[in-house]
Amino acid sequence: MRTVNSSSLPDSAAPTPGRRAESEAVYSALIAGVIGAIYGLLVGLFAPDLQLAGEADSFAVWAACGAAVVAAVVSSIEYWRARYRPGQEWRLTLPPWKFIVNAVSVVVVHAALAFVAVYALYRVLAMGFIGLPIVTFWAVVLMSVTLGLTTWIVFLSVSSMTTQRMSSLLLAFIAIGTLTAMVTTPDPKWWTIHFSHLGTFEEDLSSWVFNGTLIAAGLLVTTFAVYIANDMRALAEAGVLGNPRGPRIVPVLFAVMGIMLACVGVFPVDVNLALHNLSASGMAAMFLVLLIGGPKFLAGMPRTYFVSSWAFLGAMVASVVLFIPAIGYFSLTAFEIIVFALIFGWIAVFIRFLGVAGQRN
C-alpha cells in the first residue's frame, strides 16, 4: 500500500492575499486613480465630446488603453515582488530565462485582459446610453475609477498566483476575448465561414482582439506548464503520483500546446493557411496525447478525473464523427468552437483535480 506524505502536498486552495498585500493593493489603486483622473482630464480636454463606444476614437478605446498600461506596470512589479511571499518561494529557484518568460506571459495576459474587459464593459454600457457624449467631468471620473479598479484587481491577482488561479485567469481571458471579437467583428455572418475568420480583418480592432487573445493565452499556457511541473513534482515526492516521469512529460506537453495556441494567433488563416492549420492540429494533438496518455502519465490521480477525461475524449470523437462530410451535422465553425471548448474545459477539470490529488475527503 502506497503511503502519502501529506506535508509535501501542494496547497490546493489559492492563498489569500495577506494584510500587507491587501493594503498595498488599495494604496496602489488610489495612486492609479489619481493618475487616471489626470489622464481623463487630458482626454477630455484634447478629445472633447467623445462617444462612449462604437467608434475607432471613442472613450472605450482610451480607457482600455489606460487600463492595459496600468495592468502591465502593476503586474510587472508585483509578480517580481510576489516571489518572496509565502507559498511563492519556489519561483526563486527558477532559471532566470524561465522566470522572465513566465513574467512576460503573466504581464501580457493581465494587460490584454484589462484592455479587453474594459473595452467590452464600455461597449455594453454604450448600448444602454446610446449617443451619450463623454464631457470632461465624466472623463475624469470614469477614467479614475477604471484605472483604480484595474490596478486593485490586477495587484491582488498577481500577488498570490497559483495553478488554479492561473487556470481561472486563462478561462476568463479566453471567454472574454473571443466573445468580444464575436460581437465587434465587422462581418455579422462570420459564423457561416469558420471560427478563425474572426482574425482575418486586419484593419479592424476585433481581429486584433481575437488574434491577440490566442497569442496571450498561448503564452499563459506555457507559463501554466511551470506551475503544473511544480505541483506535480510535489505530488510525486509525496507518493501520490506513481509515474516519476509524469512531472517532466506533462508540463512539456502543456508547453507545446501553449506554443501551438500562440501560433494559431500569430499566423491567421488569411496570412498563412498551412501554418495556421498545422498549429491548430498540433494543439489538438497535444490534447489527445494528454487524454489518452493520462492513465500512464498521471497514475495516482483520483479515479473521477480519469472518468472525466474519457468523457472529454468521447465528446471529442463524437464531434469528429458529426463533422465528417459523410454526416455533416456540424459546420466547421461549430466543430472548431466545440473542440476549443473541450480543450479548455478539460484544462479546468485537470487543474481542479490536480489541486485535490492526495486528499482523502
pLDDT tens for 309-343 read 999 999 999 988 988 887 878 888 888 888 888 99
Tell me the H-state helices in 163-272. 163-184, 205-237, 246-266
User: Is residue 166 in some structural domain?
Assistant: no
pLDDT digits (tens, 9 = 90+) for 55-95: 667 888 899 999 999 999 999 999 888 888 777 777 888 88
- Average pLDDT of 231-237? 86
**pTM metric for this prediction:** 0.79
For residue range 164-207, what is the model confidence (pLDDT) as tens digits? 888 888 888 888 888 888 888 888 888 888 888 888 887 777 88
pLDDT at 7: 47
Question: Quick check: 185 and 198 in contact, CB under 8 A?
Answer: yes
Instruction: Mark whether 149 and 226 lie in a shared domain.
Output: no
Residues 357 and 226 grouped into a single domain: yes
Where a domain ends, among 161, 179, 195?
161
Judge whether 41 lies within some domain: yes
Strands of the chain (E only): list them.
50-51, 133-134
Average model confidence (pLDDT) for the chain?
85
Domain range for 230? 221-361
C-alpha cell at 220: 499563459
Asked whether residue 182 is domain-assigned, the answer is no
* 116 and 236 share one domain: no
**Is position 286 within any domain?**
yes
Cα dist from 354 to 9, 129, 247, 300, whole Å: 10, 45, 12, 10
